[in-house]
């Protein structure tokens, strides 16, 4: 006897594929003059993509005639200390969106922690590395479910906007 019903999860898979396909259209293109940028971006989380493909993230602080000032202190990447300036002629895109979700933050923290621990593991500080690797793993196992629950029950994040500078 043949089963005439399609695969039970087929509808769900079709819906998920359509959602991913159409999610790219959720990036609104917003034209702004450089002079309007400071008022529009005040206090928002911004990602700036530079011409060499690097992404810089942070909360918008200010904009001068030559650069944009971002503050990464509330974000995941603690590579920069304090605010940093991105020259106006060095970036291609300004993306206004949401801060990284908890699991993404955890992933970046784990990456930094494991990189540090494994560097120690293969150096003269190997005993510290032997202690750090299991400690980081235990931290990941304990905190990952809470990060996932926090992301699951968080408020909807909204639409990402790409700022197009028009002069």
The position carrying tokens 């003269």 is 124
Both 68 and 116 in a single domain?
Answer: no
| Cα–Cα dist 28/139, whole Å | 38
Q: Is the pLDDT of residue 120 over 80?
A: yes
pLDDT (tens digit, 9 = 90+) per residue, 35-84?
A: 888 888 887 888 888 888 888 888 888 888 888 888 876 544 444 456 77
Q: Do 160 and 92 belong together in one domain? A: yes
Residue 20 lies in a domain: no
**Are residue 31 and residue 94 in the same domain, yes or no?**
yes
Task: Give the count of domains, the chain.
Answer: 2
What pLDDT is recorded for position 13?
57
Q: How far apart are CA 28 and CA 161, in angstroms?
A: 5
Whichever domain contains 39, its CATH number is: 2.30.30.100
**Domain around 70:** 27-98+156-165
Query: 106 and 71, same structural domain?
Result: no
DSSP codes, 74-92: GSS--SS-S-EEEEGGGEE
Cβ-in-10-Å burial (0-12, 13-18, 19+) of 34 comes to: middle
Query: Is residue 3, in this structure, part of any structural domain at all?
Result: no
Which among 26, 69, 61 is positioned nearest to 42, based on CA atoms?
61
Secondary structure (DSSP) of 54-78: -EEEEEEEEE-SSEEEEEGGGSS--
Say how far apart CA 127 and CA 161 lie, in whole Å.
Answer: 48
- Give this prediction's pTM: 0.54
- Statement to judge: residues 90 and 114 lie in one domain: no
82 and 111, same domain (yes or no): no
In this predicted structure, the answer to whether residue 24 has a pLDDT above a threshold of 50 is: no
Q: Would you say residue 14 lies in a domain?
A: no
Residue at token pair 């000032």: 69
Residues 147, 94 share a domain: no
- pLDDT averaged over every residue in the chain: 78
Average pLDDT over residues 144-149: 91
Residues 85 and 125 in one domain: no
């Amino acid at each position: 006897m043949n089963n005439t019903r399609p695969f039970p999860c087929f509808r769900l898979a079709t819906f998920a594929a359509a959602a991913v396909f159409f999610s790219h259209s959720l990036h609104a293109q917003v034209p702004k003059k450089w002079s309007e940028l400071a008022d529009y971006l005040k206090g928002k989380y911004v990602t700036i993509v530079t011409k060499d493909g690097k992404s810089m993230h942070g909360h918008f602080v200010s904009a001068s005639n030559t650069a944009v000032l971002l503050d990464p202190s509330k974000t995941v990447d603690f590579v920069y200390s304090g605010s940093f300036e991105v020259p106006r002629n060095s970036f291609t895109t300004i993306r206004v969106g949401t801060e990284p979700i908890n699991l993404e933050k955890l992933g970046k923290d784990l990456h930094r922690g494991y990189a540090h621990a494994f560097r120690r593991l293969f150096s003269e500080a190997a005993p510290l590395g032997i202690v750090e690797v299991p400690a980081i793993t235990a931290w990941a196992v304990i905190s990952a479910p809470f990060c996932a629950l926090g992301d699951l029950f968080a408020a909807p994040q909204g639409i990402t906007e790409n700022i197009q500078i028009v002069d």
